[in-house]
Structure 1
Amino acid sequence: MLRTFVITMMLFSLSPSQAADNGSGLEAGMVNPGFHEKPSWFKNSFLDLGDDVDEAAEEGKRIILYFHQDGCPYCAKLLNENFTIKKIVDKTRAGFQLIGINMWGDRSVTGIDGSETTEKALAESLNVKYTPTLLFLDEQGRPVLRLNGYYPPHKFEQALDYVARHQEKRQSYRDYLKAHQPVAASGKLHRQADYLQPPLDLRASARRGERPLLVLMEMKQCPPCDELHQDILKRPELSKTLQEFDVAVVDVWSSEQLITPVGKTVESTKWAEQLGIQYTPSMVLFDSKGEEIFRSEAYLRSFHTHAILDYVLSGSYLKQANFQRYVQARAADMRARGESVDLME
């Protein structure tokens, strides 16, 4: 059976209200250092989502549900970077009402269908594994687009434009992204000499044995892909760990034929579509049987990129299904050894 574990890009910590509820020892009124203040223009919602959708539609807007948690560096990055860029703020406020949902929260929520639930139960029912996760809803409360994890400003702006302009009625998000690449990039795929080379045969029998397979889903016009290869993967410790993997770079828009890990021959772009890839670079990892075991689909710096590789290479995903708890333990071990831990390095 396919077991897919999805990256959660943060260390877990409790909000002030959660701390009180769960007996963590924080007194009422104490400041939680992991709390990230949301902009004042976020909607002050009573969390009756049906009413929120109707109110937004009356103003010609749509709803964005922003799933977050305290201690999440990528939530802070979204709030402190994306939402400090005037153009992005103006577009967001003009086209949307944005509602914050704590993925571990206990506040009461009334769903689109009128059912009663809680923030954390809603997050679980929607399979929210990343923070931030942003769910864009149309005028009937139906999901139009979902962003799993942090998107840098130019990518985030594209998502806003796509939904605000109702482009889902005309084309898929993948096709929209293909036509809109506002940031200059290197214009090349970063296939290193020691990576698997085309024509790609990703079956274990065609590779170098029982090593895990890392597939980097990329495209030529991709500034974050450039950063991944020109900076992050070149760092000595990461480069050393990467040598324990078979690595393949797949162009998500190429018609190149490849053989998938389970032995199916397909065009690269069709395989990317089948996998649901909508962000580049995405990292998809497979075991020796060709089963997907892990993926990340958002902007990552060195710490979390290395954590993904360690999580798979060590086999920890078989013992600890919750990646965020693995990250927490890994960071604690590093600190105990006197190593520096910077989640955004």
Structure 2
Amino acid sequence: MFSLTRYGACLAAALLLALAGPVTADAPEGYPFVAFDEGLRKAAEQDRYVFMYFGRYGCGWCDKTNQESFSDPDLKALYTDNYVLVYVDAESGRRMTLPGGERITEMELGARMNVYATPVFGFLMPDGETIFTVPGFKTADEFRDYHRFVSGGHYREQGLFEYLASESR
């Protein structure tokens, strides 16, 4: 039999969750990350590459990446100086307007880009065309390798893994 006390506790918990509001994922602290639609506008205006980070609340690998990799001050300077930084909450229903006028949610963007787990990192051309994406925890050194691949224009002639293999010799 369902007790009134248990019902009251369930009702109180539901009320507290409703009052707390939606929980959102956090981008790394101290970085000037912006929303996807704003980032694409800035990238086009500034003719800069986009670094995109798909994360979500409660993602342990996102937290590990934020704490271990994005805490590197040299990496922060490198990415802040060279990219428009975009953060996408992979579970968000926040609506945005793409440059062509289409309105979609951040979650729909993730599905379009085959993001089914987090974190996922992507590098985009200033017009929003994807250069490459990589999933999972990445070290600061890996992010530096990705920067060299993109900034050096190596993506025009070879794939990421081919480039990384040739760099390790």
Q: Matched residue of 1:303: which SS?
A: helix
Match of 1:217 in 2: 54
Task: Indicate the structure with greater helix content.
Answer: 2
Structure 1 pair 318/255, CA: closer, same or farther in 2 (3 Å)? Answer: same
Q: Which residue among 225, 246, 252 is the counterpart of 2:84?
A: 246
Distance 1:248 1:282 in 2: 12
Q: Which residue among 142, 145, 149 is the counterpart of 1:304?
A: 142
* Counterpart residue type for residue 310 of structure 1: R
Q: Does 1:231 align with 2:68?
A: yes
- Within 5 A, what are the aligned runs for 1:128-143? none
1:31-77, Cα deviation, whole Å (9 max, x unpaired)? xxxxxxxxxxxxxxxxxxxxxxxxxxxxxxxxxxxxxxxxxxxxxxx
* Counterpart residue type for residue 279 of structure 1: A
Asked whether the equivalents of residues 208 and 246 of structure 1 are also in contact (C-alpha less than 8 Å), the reply is no
> Which has the greater radius of gyration?
1
RMSD value over aligned CA atoms?
2.5
Shift, 1:278, TM fit: 1.2
Q: Matched residue of 2:86: which SS?
A: strand
- Within 5 A, what are the aligned runs for 1:1-345? 188-190=25-27, 192=29, 194-198=31-35, 200-204=37-41, 209-243=46-80, 244-260=82-98, 264-319=102-157, 321-332=158-169
Q: TM-score, normalised by structure 1?
A: 0.38
* Counterpart residue type for residue 110 of structure 2: A
* Counterpart residue type for residue 197 of structure 1: V
Shift, 1:279, TM fit: 1.8
Match of 1:49 in 2: none
1:192-220, Cα deviation, whole Å (9 max, x unpaired)? 45424358423245765111011101101
Distance 1:191 1:299 in 2: 13
Work out the number of aligned pairs and report it.
145
Q: Matched residue of 1:201: which SS?
A: helix
Shift, 1:310, TM fit: 2.0
Q: Matched residue of 1:231: which SS?
A: helix
Shift, 1:232, TM fit: 0.3
Distance 2:88 2:159 in 1: 27
The answer to which structure, 1 or 2, has the higher relative contact order (CA under 8 A, 6+ apart) is: 2
Asked whether the equivalents of residues 224 and 299 of structure 1 are also in contact (C-alpha less than 8 Å), the reply is yes
Structure 1 unaligned segments of length 5 or more: list them: 1-186, 333-345
Identity between Structure 1 and Structure 2 (%): 16
Structure 2 unaligned segments of length 5 or more: list them: 1-23
Shift, 1:328, TM fit: 3.1
Asked whether the equivalents of residues 39 and 85 of structure 2 are also in contact (C-alpha less than 8 Å), the reply is no
